[in-house]
Amino acid sequence: MRAPDDSARYATIHKDRGSFMVPPNLADYEAARATFTWEAARKGLSGLPRGRGLNIAHEAVDRHACSARANRVALRWLGKNGEHRDYSYRELALATNRFANALRSLGVNSGDNIFVLLGRVPELYVAILGALKMKCVASPLFSAFGPEPVVTRMDIGDARVLVTTEALYRRKVEGVRDRLPGLEHVILIDAAEAEGAHSWHGLTQAASDVFEIAPTDPQEPALLHFTSGTTGRPKGVIHVHEAVVTHYATGLYALDLHDDDRFWCTADPGWVTGTSYGVIAPLTHGVTNIVVEAEFDAPTWYGLLAQERVTVWYTAPTAIRMMMKLGVDVVKNYDLAALRFAASVGEPLNAEAVVWGVEAFGLPFHDNWWQTETGGIMIANFASMDIKPGSMGRPLPGVEAAIVKRGVDHEFEIIKASGEEGELALRSGWPSMMRGYLHEEARYQKCFVDGWYLTGDLARCDADGYYWFVGRADDVIKSSGHLIGPFEVESALMEHPAVSEAAVIGKPDPIAGEIVKAFVALKLGFVADEAMRKALLGHARKRLGAAVAPKDIEFRSNLPKTRSGKIMRRLLKARELGLPEGDLSTLESDER
Ligand code: AMP
């Protein structure tokens, strides 16, 4: 994934201090960097009563439920059929208490892993926050995943409880349940108590709405998110309760949340943005969090922005590019006067898209950068800061970033010269840094050198300290903002009886950033024709789900491999893009 370097074509967007609708929380970037401490940031939170530690659910819900914000709408849920449901902070506290008690009634213990496989429905939010109250580890899964990504993640994550719907259970879990011997309880939000499954309704109705969160060490695990690498199975990224300090601080500075905001994060909680910023950060600020169940549709989104008087909007490049395709005129049909701040994350945001925001909404999109491992926003275009369109912005106060180069023996040097490309690194020590890859200590340790966390992204830093995304250092694919591991896709293709070899790359796409493209060699006796292509696309879609499956398959009689037998995805990609093929000294077999 390489960012289009169209930076030079767009002038810096200067922020006129007189024009802010409300003064930004971070008024002066340099001053904030000089004085910021994580200890001070933590003072914005309240901690569990009587000094009993720090729990995300208390910061997000309970502390507001017993304050003047008790009756403010915490979650405003807008269903895909036009219905809506509001939960005040007090109601959210009671609902999450009930779910925490329901877990307790099942004999679930703190530290147990609770998986949630749901679309964006209120129960998803209640389940995550209720599980955190019980000090369980909450792991939301993307509901568009097929059975294979679901079972792989639940297996890695030692799932003890699954919260889902009857239809999702039947389609994605029932057939693979024998691969999950540790899965003890399935809770269905829309079904009656039945053999092998509990009813959400039955359990929560029988449960008390009074619950006291047990003392919580800030270092106790709270969230398990999955991310992908180039090789091997997905990585289970562990985050602890202390991560809430970053969620709060970035909500304050990078999203500029103010007390009376109406905030909408368009990401699904099955991906880290949808949890850190679609659930936790806005609630820690006591604002109204808008949850939209429906998938993207530009006019519907504009209608919702207007109808809900959204003030702060956090979205993603693929959606912005789809809006751009429809043109500015459509936007002008809606009254978006309440919208004050717009931000974007997840993939490179073209400079053109930043500027289009000004044309369409009267606001630039503020790009920011982070990843599952960092748990929260690390680099951002802050509200008060001039924007260089195409840049990810500057590091959060409290975060030290650098561009580094790794040597063959993994030693590394920090690049001082501005503008030179290298790997983006962050000095360890912010509260939401992952605490491990579940069951994979060696893989986790490999991310660190000399106290720096190496992100796997290539970037450069200019003379003003702005960071520019260059590309990934590895072969993972970003498609519509979703990180996809090639190995997971290749494994699913290899399961098909006709496939002898498979290699998967990200092919640039003007809307989705990249799409998944597979190169496949067939076993003897199988014919590489259109029917086979369709069969393989269908097979992958069924196993992996539409968000992960390849969109395109090309047949080859053989795939390029190194002498040690590793398929050279890099070479396939270079050829696909017409780029130089690079060092081919290790190439063993090759047939185009
Ligand atoms: P994930 O862990 O799924 O959130 O994906 C993180 C990866 O998405 C990063 O390592 C980057 O490769 C990419 N990414 C996230 N934000 C940006 C951004 N603002 N610009 C470019 N790439 C981004």
Q: Which pLDDT tens digit goes with each residue over 208-239?
A: 999 999 999 999 999 999 999 888 899 999 99
Structure tokens at 528: 């590489």
Ligand 1 neighbour 225 (Cβ under 6 A): no
For residue 91, the CA-to-ligand 1 centroid distance in Å is: 35
Contact 171, 145 (CB under 8 A): no
Ligand 1 neighbour 345 (Cβ under 6 A): yes
Structure tokens at 405: 């180069």
Please report the pLDDT score of residue 5 as a whole number.
Answer: 53
CATH architecture of 474-589: 2-Layer Sandwich (3.30)
- Taking the chain (592 residues) in consecutive chunks of 10 residues, what is each chunk's mean pLDDT? 58 87 95 97 97 98 98 98 97 98 98 98 98 98 96 98 98 95 97 92 98 98 94 94 98 98 98 98 98 96 98 97 96 97 96 96 97 98 97 98 86 86 96 98 95 95 96 92 94 95 95 96 96 98 96 94 84 90 72 54
Ligand 1 neighbour 507 (Cβ under 6 A): no
B/e letters for 114-152, b = 16+ CB within 10 Å, e = fewer, are bbbbbbbbbbbbbbbbbbbbbbbbbbbbbbbbbbbbbbb
Ligand 1 neighbour 350 (Cβ under 6 A): no
Return the best residue to mutate from 371, 379, 460, 477 for the ligand 1 pocket (most ligand atoms within 8 A of CB).
Answer: 371
Please report the pLDDT score of residue 271 as a whole number.
Answer: 96
Ligand 1 atom 6, closest CA? 371
Which 8-state DSSP code applies to residue 393? B
Ligand 1 atom 21, closest CA? 348
Contact 386, 12 (CB under 8 A): yes
Ligand 1 neighbour 371 (Cβ under 6 A): yes
Ligand 1 neighbour 479 (Cβ under 6 A): no
Structure tokens at 42: 């933590």
Q: Does the domain at residues 7-19+21-461 carry the CATH identifier 3.30.310.50? A: no
CA distance 570 to 353: 29
Asked whether this chain's domains 7-19+21-461 and 474-589 adopt the same fold, the reply is no
Residues in the chain: 592
- Of ligand 1's listed atoms, the one at least distance from the Cα of 392 is 19
Max Cα-Cα span within the chain: 72
Contact 135, 214 (CB under 8 A): yes
For residue 534, the CA-to-ligand 1 centroid distance in Å is: 31
Ligand 1 neighbour 367 (Cβ under 6 A): yes
Please report the pLDDT score of residue 48 as a whole number.
Answer: 98
Please report the pLDDT score of residue 99 as a whole number.
Answer: 98
Please report the pLDDT score of residue 505 as a whole number.
Answer: 96
Among 230, 276, 231, 225, residue whose Cα is nearest residue 249: 276
Mean model confidence pLDDT for the chain: 94
Contact 396, 423 (CB under 8 A): no
Ligand 1 atom 7, closest CA? 371
CA distance 281 to 47: 15
Ligand 1 neighbour 475 (Cβ under 6 A): no
DSSP structure string for 183-218 = --EEEETTS--BTTBEEHHHHHHHS-S---PPPB-T
- Domain spans of the chain? 7-19+21-461, 474-589
Contact 459, 421 (CB under 8 A): yes
Structure tokens at 65: 């439920």
Ligand 1 neighbour 478 (Cβ under 6 A): yes
